[in-house]
Structure 1
Amino acid sequence: MVTVAAFARTAALVGDPARAGMLTVLMDGRALTAAELARAAGVTPQTASGHLAKLAEAGLLTVARQGRHRYHRLASPAVARMLEGVMAVASMPDAARPAATRAPSIRSPGPRDAALREARTCYDHLAGRLAVAMADSLVARGAVELGEDGGALTPAGEVFLRGLGVDLDAASGRRVFCRPCLDWSERRPHIAGALGAALLATCLDRGWLRRSEGSRAVAVTPGGRLALGRAFGYRQACACGDAA
């Protein structure tokens, strides 16, 4: 059982602006060096090293050594879910906040960057408008059943996704296979778990999506617009994808 003290320690770690900045950068699933994370957080390498040591000690980060470098990544999807949840609460419209915490003006929920709102990585799965559209389509065609806390792939869904090239065999394992994840910007669920990771991997491997350097945003390629439109009825809402 989690104690109040343990909860407070974790919240305090995440609540520091520099540490929050470094954790946010790692939400795309990459492993970065202390120098790279220092630049992202706007602190000195020495300061970053101190922050990273605390995050690793608390189990929020894992560290791997390769040659002369040490690479830091989020310790688990659970850490990414926690960060995404905090972001969702932090970006709530003022009308949904307690009166004592309301800001002077109403802000739109989610990221201001249109590319991030359209499609982004949430650790190892896809988030944003595209991800929600995919989840809606899979539910509507009876391919996936989503509840409040979990989800399941139907036999028809297995046939459909294998037809798209999704490696469902690799997705099976100890981790949760399918679950809903409340989207930070859309405020509706997208698909997480091993199935969500497999869907993202398929989109990247087939060239339907392309990672954006230095950002969690992923760009929808011209071929991806066609393929995702046919498979999920997706229509891009903004000119934030591949312009080629």
Structure 2
Amino acid sequence: MKYHKKLIFINLVTLFFVFHFFSLGLFSFNRIGLDQEYAQFFAKAKKSKELGKFDESIKLFEESLAVAKKINDGKRECESLLKLGLSYWNIAQFKTSSLHYKHALELAEKLDLKYLQEKCRSSLELYMLYKEGKKTRSSGEYEKSIEYFEQAIHLAEKSRGQEHKLKCLRQLSQTYWELDNYSKFFRLNEKALMIAQSLNHRKEEGICLFNLGIYYWNKDNYSKALSCYEKALIIAQSLKNKESESACLNNIGIIYEKIG
């Protein structure tokens, strides 16, 4: 009887260890699978962003974020949040963008991730400068607006943030237009156009081309104005942006009427 009890006890202990190590192996296998899943979502999201498919990249970064949370990987969670912040910036959802940057900063501080903290703070500071630049321009404080946008551009260059720099250049050009400084308006839109093309940011490319069309029209250079508007029109049609399409067609029509 004692022998049987001892045997049962040994078998139970053996079963416990077998189950324990099997569970560890299963967890390890599951973790590897989730690591791969995260890497796939993150890589696909980056590729979509590079192709200018920002809505698609947002969905994929949301997926990578969900997986990072599942495996309790704070660094990857923070990286996904940062990418989401930038993706929302690209589609001009600035408040949503800043919320993702704030969340990423809180996490980076909690985990003491210095490099990511710096990126988050830089992005949030840039957003505040951008917002103030637009606000001061609206109130007619053009010199202050220029100062804010120039600070934002400098910060974007320092952090190598081409997406941030693009919008700031274009907004700065609008302030110079208000001051009748058309040469500055032209040069800033040319710079912004080059960045937009390098980023495959079709909407921003279309806006820059439209602005350049306005510049050439103002200079009575109708052939160049038409060229810019026609390129902007093709982009507007490809993006199914009816408002931009209508504006391009309207200006093209007026120019043709002028030149007879």
Relative contact order (C-alpha < 8 Å, sep 6+): which is higher?
A: 1
Indicate the structure with greater helix content.
Answer: 2
TM normalised by structure 1 equals 0.25
Indicate the structure with greater strand content.
Answer: 1
Structure with greater Cα Rg: 2
